[in-house]
Amino acid sequence: QVQVVESGGGLVQAGGSLRLSCAVSGLRFIINYMGWFRQAPGKEREFVAAIKLTADTPHYADAVKGRFTISRDSAPNTVYLQMNSLKPEDTAVYYCAAGWGNIYTDSTMYEYWGQGTQVTVSS
């Protein structure tokens, strides 16, 4: 059984930092992409960042480029999202996802999802 476990959300003041972690268990192979999406109240889920695990190639949404960094761990199917210079508009539930495809910005590409972790940035 595949499980996606996220951790690291919380409450932070604007300008602060948080680090999210995500680990996928139950897979026999290294998955192709792991990504982060977020959903704010009343808004659609949106792409934040993704990384191709076999190539260590990161990708970012324009809204977070230069502030967020996605990285992989030496442990298989484990990634982090370092979030710096946080803004109130970053407030959302952040979801980790893992998929075998290549269209990393498309949420439907990802087969496995975590339960989400709340990130709240106060002004």
Q: Which pLDDT belongs to residue 16?
A: 98
Write down the mean pLDDT value for the chain. Answer: 96
Please say whether the beta carbons of 12 and 18 come within 8 A.
yes
Q: What is the pLDDT of residues 40-91, one digit of tens each?
A: 999 999 999 999 998 888 999 999 999 999 999 989 999 999 999 999 999 9
Q: Is 62 exposed, middle or buried (0-12, 13-18, 19+ CB in 10 A)?
A: exposed
Q: Which pLDDT belongs to residue 54?
A: 87
User: What number is the average pLDDT over the span 8-34?
Assistant: 96
- State how far the Cα of 33 lies from the Cα of 71, in Å rounded to an integer: 12
Please say whether the beta carbons of 40 and 54 come within 8 A.
no
Q: Does position 13 have pLDDT exceeding 90, yes or no?
A: yes
